[in-house]
């Protein structure tokens, strides 16, 4: 970046300059008419910061506790897939940043890095694993065992995705995750199951939920 970002919008402007149209559309847009995307953004505008005046500000503390773990401030990293298409370091860099800021990182099932690689890169701190429930229960059990072994603290279970969303920009740009971002089910390198091919709107094989 030409200068340090001042706000979140600056990161988006930088992404517009450096990312190809396919990945940019994936990270920048939502599904169908993007109603949910707009409502989510609107929801944040309803939160207000309540000023408290004539108080002792010599020691300000924004820390809070989640499941018995203290983090520095109440802002956590939500799960986002295919981060390898935004930067080669992908989820590893995101997990490391969350650890350095002492906040919670949530890893997506559809990460471009394996559970083990992310855990090795950020072996401490509060880490959750976002889990899809598959019809092939052995896949689900395997993911849970690997996340537990890697030291993740909790599961974040996603139950509202019986099929993939219709993302218009992705369809028009014919975007699919690049090979370096497509370690499906965050498998160790070389073990990504080839049968897990994904198309827009549905899975090619019916193994989800």
> In sequence order, which residues have a C-beta less than 8 Å from that of residue 160 and are 6 or more positions away?
none
- Are the beta carbons of 88 and 94 closer than 8 angstroms? no
What are the φ/ψ torsions at residue 179 (nearest 5 degrees)? -55, -40
pLDDT at 170 over 70: yes
3-state secondary structure of 185: helix
Q: What is the pLDDT of residues 24-51, one digit of tens each?
A: 999 999 999 999 999 999 999 999 988 8
- Are the beta carbons of 173 and 28 closer than 8 angstroms? no
Q: What is the pTM of this model?
A: 0.83
What are the φ/ψ torsions at residue 198 (nearest 5 degrees)? -120, 140
Domains of the chain: residue spans and CATH: 62-203 (3.20.20.70)
- Proportion of the chain above pLDDT 70, given as a percent: 84
Distance (Å, whole) CA 157 – CA 116: 19
């Amino acid at each position: 970046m030409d200068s340090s970002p001042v706000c979140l919008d600056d990161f988006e402007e930088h992404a517009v300059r450096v990312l190809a149209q396919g990945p940019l559309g994936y990270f920048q847009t939502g599904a169908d008419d993007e109603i949910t995307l707009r409502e989510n953004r609107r929801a944040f505008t309803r939160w207000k910061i309540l000023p408290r005046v004539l108080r002792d500000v010599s020691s300000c503390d924004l820390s809070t506790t989640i499941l018995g773990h203290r983090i520095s401030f109440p802002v956590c990293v939500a799960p986002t897939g295919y981060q390898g298409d935004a930067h080669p370091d992908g989820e590893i860099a995101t997990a490391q940043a969350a650890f350095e800021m002492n906040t919670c990182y949530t890893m997506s099932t559809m990460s471009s890095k394996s559970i083990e690689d992310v855990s090795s890169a950020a072996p401490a701190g509060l880490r959750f694993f976002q889990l899809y429930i598959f019809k092939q229960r052995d896949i689900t059990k395997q993911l849970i065992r690997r996340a537990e072994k890697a030291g993740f603290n909790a599961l974040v279970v996603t139950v509202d995705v019986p099929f993939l969303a219709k993302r218009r920009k992705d369809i028009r740009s014919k975007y699919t995750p690049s090979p370096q971002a497509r370690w499906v089910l965050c498998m160790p390198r070389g073990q990504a199951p080839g049968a897990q091919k994904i198309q827009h709107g549905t899975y090619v094989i019916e193994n989800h939920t």
